[in-house]
């Protein structure tokens, strides 16, 4: 098969980790007889510097025409403590999600047995954890009207959801639950928010279409607790944009494998794949960043966007082998030998 | 001194744990020569059953006239999965916070050395944790306009903050930081929300009035992570209502001492004290609920509302002694003897 893949390296360590994912994907393509054409495009602070905005139209055109998007990381510290900055890298991310219609962010949290001791949680709490969040990504308070009134003394952000938005996200959740343990948890704040009540009633009305799925409803504050206490009690969780932002990040650190967690953002036409870690500016250019999350995002891309599970499996096997043999960057080296970002990428490509 | 204390026992285990706090407070009053008049009033599901609403005017009058409010817990499962219920216990809580002007929720998370092994976190992660959240409690998305349009197909919740609301909460945060390690973390989502940008710029402008306080600004998703990774890296954190709801609950379970954590909600005129745990309906009437969080809330009341640190200390000492001698309810008994709620209360009162 032939694929056009938009390549958005972004900021910080983005370019370095993306390079490794490209190398590994190319090795997969060679092995399985596919042809990948990579279409690099600018995003993030890099795009602001080059053309004045973080998600230029040219980049959008590349993404919209591609079969999938592979994304590195964006964000730069020079924007972080400046609430008045007019253009920020994150705006590019939000604009991209909206314009590409990436409404479902898929964020798995699972454990690698060899990394369990990296978890801040006790082993018996984290063992066996294998959950997936589906976070709504193009609605809610992120995209509602926001602004100031009273000469800037009052600020507001509107959170808005329509039933259709909830349904399309929940549908993905039910479908995913059917392929796993048939347990679905809807996370909301229905005791306070009207949008949450819409979420809850919409999901409740869909239950009859998936009689095998056992659905539970939990408040976001309760989930924030239980994720730390008994993460392995969850399977598929669906939630709105802001709750998802907070909870998926919380979930990402419990396993000890954060540097390895991939993610997907899916729309009706196209999907984007990216590591969940950030742009890690301090590590930029040092050849120390762990490329595995980006490489595993490429695995998700083969599996989900191209429906090629064997190709994905080849990547996952190489990563598992690297972990077993200690071919890892310094974050996982544990006093042993630390390999560079590039060396880990080379090894993975050679072991496809 | 003479005190009138409004006593809102509420639902579930509320009445049982409140009884113990009353007993212990009375013992303190006897020992130190104070006179407490308790003013019981209805709230929560109990008030809905009795008079049709969760925070009746009569209850408000009792609270408004009191020197402090001691609160048990509210909430009843029969309201939880009914998004259409017209009257809910939680509405009483929100109405009470608003009408009493309780704008600052003070939520400490600290560790008891004897309970460290109850933490889901590894000992080296949790040791030494001693942080306090100040959660804004009468603004934000909880109290903005909310509703439906498009025949119920669209739901919305407005998040609104004024500079004055941020200032009064932040002022308490700076003041608290001055009495502790002079570190303050402002938690927001300023990369997305206009209300967060108002928070950040307001706190930044206040920094010059507290030159000794070192202020940091972190995004809510990053804090949700670091709370699990390095909770002992935090000291005082200030945040808006919804972020505070999620993060304080997350923080509450990391120490292993959740059943012991007290809280205060402070306004300009009056303050309310309550355990952070919920109404725990399954345990109602079984004499098994741990009363220590409520008893420690009474300690906070003496210290904070009445400015009587010695009296607070007497309660804390009794609790520490009970923990050391194993006079605990089943949640802490660890295979040893479990005492009843009432027996623990009696023991604490006798040991003041
Ligand atoms: C950078 C920021 C706007 C973004 C978000 O809040 O969605 C990030 O935290 C994420 O989760 O992808
Ligand atoms: C019951 C609910 C309305 C309340 C809140 O969200 O504020 C509770 O979770 C709390 O934190 O006191």
pLDDT digits (tens, 9 = 90+) for B104-118: 999 999 998 888 889
Residue whose C-alpha is closest to residue B215's, from B247, B172, B168, B177:
B177
**Where exactly are the structural domains of chain A?**
1-102+267-352, 112-258
Query: What chain B residue is nearest to A154 in terms of C-alpha separation?
Result: B162
HEC readout, chain A: CEEEEEEEEECCCHHHHHHHHHHHHHHHHHHHCCEEEEEECCCHHHHHHHHCCCCCHHHHHHHHHCCEEEEEECCCHHHCCCCCCCCCHHHHHHHHHHHHCCCEEEEEEECCHHHHHHCCECHHHHCCCEEEEEEECCCHHHCCCEEEECCCCEEEEEEEEEHHHHHHHHHHHHHHHHHCCCEEEEEECCCCCHHHHHHHHHHHHHHHHCCCCEEEEEEHHHHHHHHHHCHHHCCEEEECHHHHHHHHHHHHHHCCCHHHCEEEEECCCCEEEEECCCCCHHHCCCCCCCCHHHHHHHHHHHHHHCCCHHHHHHHHHHHHHHHHHCCCCHHHHCCCCCCCHHHHHHHHHHCC
Query: For the whole prediction, is pTM greater than 0.85?
Result: yes
- Enumerate residues 322 to 341 of chain B having a beta carbon within 8 A of any beta carbon in chain A: none
**A313 interface with B at CB cutoff 8 Å:** no
Is the pLDDT score of A28 beyond 70?
Answer: yes
The Cα B84–Cα B97 span in angstroms is 23
CATH number of A112-258: 3.40.718.10
User: Ligand 1 pocket: which residues have CB below 6 Å?
Assistant: A 90, 93, 245; B 191-192, 221
Residue of B nearest to A123 (CA): B122
Domains B1-102+267-352 and B106-260 share a fold: yes
Residue A82: band (very low, low, confident or very high) from pLDDT cuts 50, 70, 90? low
Residue A204, chain B, CB below 8 Å: the answer is yes
Q: Which of A23, A39, A172, A189 is catalytic?
A: A189
Q: In what order do the strands lie in the sheet with B154-162?
A: A146-149, A154-162, B154-162, B146-149
d(CA A162, CA B155): 6
B61 touches chain A (CB under 8 A): no
Q: Which ligand 1 atom minimizes the distance to the CA of A245? A: 11
State the burial class of residue B124 (Cβ atoms within 10 Å of its Cβ: 0-12, 13-18, 19+): exposed
Residue B245 CA to ligand 2 centre (angstroms): 6
Residue A142 annotated in active site: yes
Which of B10-14, B45-49, B156-160 has the least mean pLDDT? B45-49
**How high does pLDDT run on average in chain A?**
95
Q: Does residue B338 come out as left (phi exceeding 0), alpha (psi in the -120 to 50 range) or beta?
A: beta
pLDDT tens for residues A125-183? 999 999 999 999 999 999 999 999 999 999 999 999 999 999 999 999 999 999 999 99
In the set B39, B55, B189, B234, the catalytic residue is B189
Distance from the Cα of residue A265 to its chain's centroid:
7
Q: Which residues sit with their C-beta closer than 6 Å to ligand 2?
A: A 191-192, 221; B 90, 93, 245
- Residue B84 scores a pLDDT above 70: no
The CATH topology of domain A1-102+267-352 is: Isopropylmalate Dehydrogenase (3.40.718)
Q: Token pair for residue A146? A: 């926001």
pLDDT tens per residue, range B111-165: 988 888 899 999 999 999 999 999 999 999 999 999 999 999 999 999 999 999 9
CA distance B40 to B332: 30
What is the structure's pLDDT at A78?
A: 79
Helix (H) or strand (E) holding B179: helix B163-179
3-class secondary-structure state, position B21? helix
Q: Are A331 and A290 in contact (CB under 8 A)?
A: yes
The CATH architecture one would assign to domain B106-260 is 3-Layer(aba) Sandwich (3.40)
As a whole number of Å, the CA-based R_g of chain A is: 20
What percent of chain B stands above pLDDT 70?
98
Q: Whose CA is nearest to atom 6 of ligand 1?
A: A245
A residues 239-268 closer than 8 Å to B (CB): 242-243, 245-247, 249-250, 252-254
Alpha-carbon gap, residue B140 to B138, rounded angstroms: 7
């Amino acid at each position: 098969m032939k694929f056009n893949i938009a390549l958005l390296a972004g900021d910080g360590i983005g370019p370095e980790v993306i390079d490794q994912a490209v190398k590994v994907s190319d090795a997969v393509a060679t092995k399985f007889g596919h042809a990948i054409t990579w279409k690099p495009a600018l995003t993030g602070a890099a795009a602001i510097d080059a053309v004045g905005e973080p998600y230029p139209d040219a980049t959008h055109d590349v993404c919209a025409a591609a079969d999938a998007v592979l994304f590195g990381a964006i964000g730069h510290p020079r924007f972080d403590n400046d609430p008045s900055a007019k253009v920020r890298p994150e705006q590019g991310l939000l604009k991209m999600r909206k314009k590409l219609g990436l409404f479902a962010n898929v964020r798995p949290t699972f454990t690698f047995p060899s990394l369990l001791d990296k978890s801040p949680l006790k082993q018996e709490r984290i063992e066996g954890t294998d959950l997936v969040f589906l976070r709504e990504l193009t609605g809610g308070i992120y995209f509602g009207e926001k602004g100031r009134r009273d000469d800037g003394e009052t600020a507001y952000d509107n959170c808005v959801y329509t039933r259709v938005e909830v349904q399309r996200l929940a549908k993905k959740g039910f479908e995913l639950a059917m392929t796993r343990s048939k347990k679905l948890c809807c996370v909301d704040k229905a005791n306070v928010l009207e949008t949450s009540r819409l979420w809850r009633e919409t999901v409740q009305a869909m239950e009859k279409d998936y009689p095998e799925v056992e659905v539970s409803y939990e408040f976001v504050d309760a989930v924030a607790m239980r994720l730390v206490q008994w993460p392995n009690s969850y399977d598929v969780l669906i939630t709105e944009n802001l709750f998802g932002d907070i909870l998926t990040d919380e979930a990402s650190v419990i396993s000890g494998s954060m540097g390895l967690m991939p993610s997907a953002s899916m729309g009706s036409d196209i999907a984007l794949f990216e590591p969940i870690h950030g742009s890690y500016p301090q590590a930029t250019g040092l050849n120390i960043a762990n490329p595995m999350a980006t490489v595993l995002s490429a695995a998700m891309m083969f599996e989900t966007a191209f429906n090629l599970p064997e190709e994905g499996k080849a990547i996952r096997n190489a990563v598992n082998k690297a972990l077993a043999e200690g071919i890892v960057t310094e974050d996982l080296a544990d006093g042993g030998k630390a390999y560079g970002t590039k060396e880990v990428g080379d090894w993975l490509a050679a072991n496809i």
